[in-house]
Amino acid sequence: MSESRESTTMRFPSVGAGDHFEATETDHVLTRADQATVDALRPGTALLVVLRGPNTGARFLLDDASVTSGRHPDSDIFLDDVTVSRKHAVFTREGDTFSVRDVGSLNGTYLNRERIEESALQTGDEVQIGKFRLVFYAGRPQS
């Protein structure tokens, strides 16, 4: 006898959602404190804000030419979770342009949900490293 497999998963609006705007996973809404931090960034620097995952809300300043990220305690951005490789990704700055490069991680590095080896970053881009989803915000260009 053949069994019919229908989806049993349903999505319901959140309580009180009504006609209000419902944010989706890809919406990046900064808190006032985070927005003030982004507005105060020195020219030529950038900020990563943890949107999802362990340490949600944590902020990491990108103010060197090269910033390492990974599970190794010596990483500039220490992301303590088994889904993150010891040496996972490197953020680099060349002039006013920032980029992210995977450095041979097991689970990969994703930019806006696409696996990448290396890619330039724009304000609002979402970088995923293991369970961590970080949103990139560039400061003002250098004069």
Q: Residues 40, 90: contact at Cβ < 8 Å?
A: no
The reply to whether 25 falls in a domain is no
The reply to whether 5 falls in a domain is no
The reply to whether 129 falls in a domain is yes
Domain carrying residue 132: 32-138
Count up the domains in the chain and report the number.
1
pLDDT number for residue 27: 57
The reply to whether 27 falls in a domain is no
pLDDT number for residue 136: 98
For the stretch 120-141, pLDDT in tens is: 999 999 999 999 999 999 998 8
Residue 8: is its pLDDT beyond 60? no
- Residue 116 sits at φ, ψ, to 5 deg, of -130, 160
Residue 7: is its pLDDT beyond 50? no
CA distance 84 to 107: 7
pLDDT number for residue 14: 36
For the stretch 22-60, pLDDT in tens is: 334 445 677 888 788 888 899 999 999 999 999 999 999
CATH number, domain of 88, equals 2.60.200.20
For the stretch 50-97, pLDDT in tens is: 999 999 999 999 999 999 999 999 999 999 999 999 999 999 999 989
The reply to whether 111 falls in a domain is yes
The reply to whether 2 falls in a domain is no
CA distance 115 to 7: 28
pLDDT number for residue 99: 99
Higher pLDDT pick, 3 / 47: 47
Largest CA distance in the chain: 73
The reply to whether 65 falls in a domain is yes
The burial class, CB within 10 Å (0-12 / 13-18 / 19+), for 51 is buried
- Residue 133 sits at φ, ψ, to 5 deg, of -115, 115
Which residue, 139, 90, 80, is CA-closest to 116?
90
Mean pLDDT score across all residues of the chain: 84
pTM for this prediction: 0.78
The reply to whether 36 falls in a domain is yes
Residue 107: is its pLDDT beyond 90? yes
